[in-house]
Amino acid sequence: MNIMRVYFDNNATTRLDDRALEEMITFYREKFGNPNSAHGMGIEANLHLEKAREKIAKILGVSPSEIFFTSCATEAINWIHKAVAEVFEKRKRTIITTPIEHKAVLETLKYLSLRGFRVKYIPVDSRGVVKLEELERMIDEDTFLVSVMAANNEVGTIQPIEEVVKIVKKKNKEILVHVDAVQVIGKIPFSLERLNVDYASFSAHKFHGPKGVGIAFIKKGAPIRPFVHGGGQERGLRSGTQNVPGIVGAAKAMELAVENLESTMKHMERLRRKLAEGLRKLGAHIITPLDVSLPNTLSVSFSNLRGSTLQNLLSSHGIFVSTSSACTSKDENLSHVLTAMGIDRRIAQGAIRISLCRYNTEEEVNYFLEKTGEILSFLGINENNRR
């Protein structure tokens, strides 16, 4: 049996770009000095660390002094939210976010709510787009932080961040704004230069960089406090020896991700369009709002087939996708994103997420559609009961 290996789970993680890996190897084998050491090898490592910081800052349109390295985006998110809450805890207690944020944000804010902070959730429409009029209504004198993701990891919906920032700053310019930008690099144009946000978080392994490297943007003058204490690295705000090989690889991967962005976007969009058309013919319900979403992301559902079942059967054919729900019989265990969007329970239970990258091919799409059709036929899900 001829099994092709097809990886369609790029919103979860991506393969490391070979060119980024090549740069990293040198820093494991030869230039492995601690960047905080005063001798020659340490100075050399620090030089490359700062060059990587400058490269990332230039791509994002900010100052190198506003870029900090962490172990992952989850750490960056925890650091920013908890530190800002600590700064404001004796003056203000309200944070505003959305119900479709990544768990890194939602669980951090849940932790803060248990410590007396009030968390408000901006509702989203059926496409997953935040309701701006509700945001404006929710902001009050007690609000000190608004946190909204740039694009959703499950369905791909792109949020109107510029409008969000304008509303927040017009209401009260002292309110701080954080954007979870983990899913955007290498998928759509993104620059912090045109956004008046105070904080942002990124993760290298989402744009063909290495795992273990997160990036925190902290605008000059924005309040922050140390989250990890120790030797005073990262200008005294994030202690711990920096992962120089990973950071160098992250900078190279980001550079490559934006290098041919327009052609990459067109490539992914073409593959996604073919997937959507093919899956519709097989009776799928398209959840992702194709007009306001990342070009690589497609959430679909077969309402009479659990997403976990389809995921496992596809995996047996060498095709790897993720589910958008816990696929259990309990409503509370459905995807929090699909629930917030008001997606019907049966559709939510059947959801799978297909997320593409620049390396995916039309041949892989054809194989996926062929095997999905075979699975549906094997299960006896015909044209009538698929709808």
Q: For residue range 241-272, what is the model confidence (pLDDT) as tens digits? A: 999 999 999 999 999 999 999 999 999 999 99
pLDDT in tens, 341-357: 999 999 999 999 999 99
- Domain coverage including residue 289: 260-386
Cα Rg, the chain, nearest whole Å: 22
Section 34-39 average pLDDT: 96
Q: CATH number, domain at 303?
A: 3.90.1150.10
Burial of 323: CB neighbours in 10 Å, binned 0-12, 13-18, 19+: buried
285 contacts 301 by C-beta, under 8 angstroms: yes
Domain boundary among 258, 286, 301: 258
Q: Is residue 369 part of a domain?
A: yes
In this structure, the answer to whether residues 231 and 329 fall within a common structural domain is: no
Give the range among 54-68, 131-145, 207-221, 331-345 with minimum mean pLDDT.
331-345
Q: 237 and 364: one domain? A: no
Give the integer Cα–Cα distance in Å for 216 and 180: 10
The Cα 335–Cα 166 span in angstroms is 30
Q: Give Cβ neighbours of residue 312 (< 8 Å, ≥ 6 apart).
A: none
327 given a catalytic annotation:
yes
Whether residue 252 is found in the same domain as residue 304? no
Q: Do 138 and 125 have their domain in common? A: yes
What's residue 324's pLDDT?
66
Q: What is the pLDDT of residues 16-32, one digit of tens each?
A: 999 999 999 999 999 99
pLDDT in tens, 89-114: 999 999 999 999 999 999 999 999 99
Same-domain pairing of 276 and 234:
no
Tell me whether residue 11 is in a domain.
Answer: no
Examine residue 5 and state whether it is found in any structural domain, yes or no: no
Cα separation, 274 vs 372, whole angstroms: 14
Whether 4 is covered by a domain: the verdict is: no
Q: Rounded CA gap, 29 and 47, in Å?
A: 17
* Residue where a domain stops, chosen among 258, 291, 325: 258
Do 249 and 319 fall within a single domain? no
Number of domains in the chain: 2
Stretch (H or E) spanning 199: strand 199-203
Q: Are residues 233 and 110 in the same domain?
A: yes
Whether residues 248 and 227 share a domain: the answer is: yes
How distant, in Å, are the alpha carbons of 67, 230, 292 from that of 37?
21, 15, 48
Residue 9, domain member (yes or no)? no
What secondary structure letter does DSSP report for 17? P
pLDDT grade for 382, boundaries at 50, 70 and 90: low
Statement to judge: residues 253 and 269 lie in one domain: no
Residues 174 and 35 in one domain: yes
Domain assignment of residue 190, yes or no: yes
User: What pTM was estimated for this model as a whole?
Assistant: 0.94
Q: What are 45-63's pLDDT values in tens digits?
A: 999 999 999 999 999 999 9
Q: What is the mean pLDDT of residues 78-85?
A: 98
Domain boundary, last residue among 197, 223, 258: 258
8 Å CB contact between 285 and 347: yes
Enumerate the H helices of the chain as residue ranges: 18-29, 40-60, 73-88, 103-113, 132-138, 161-171, 244-259, 261-281, 307-316, 336-340, 345-349, 362-378, 383-386
Strands 176-180 and 143-149: parallel
Catalytic residue (choose from 96, 327, 343, 347): 327
pLDDT band per the 50, 70, 90 thresholds, residue 1: low
Residue 193 shares a structural domain with residue 265:
no
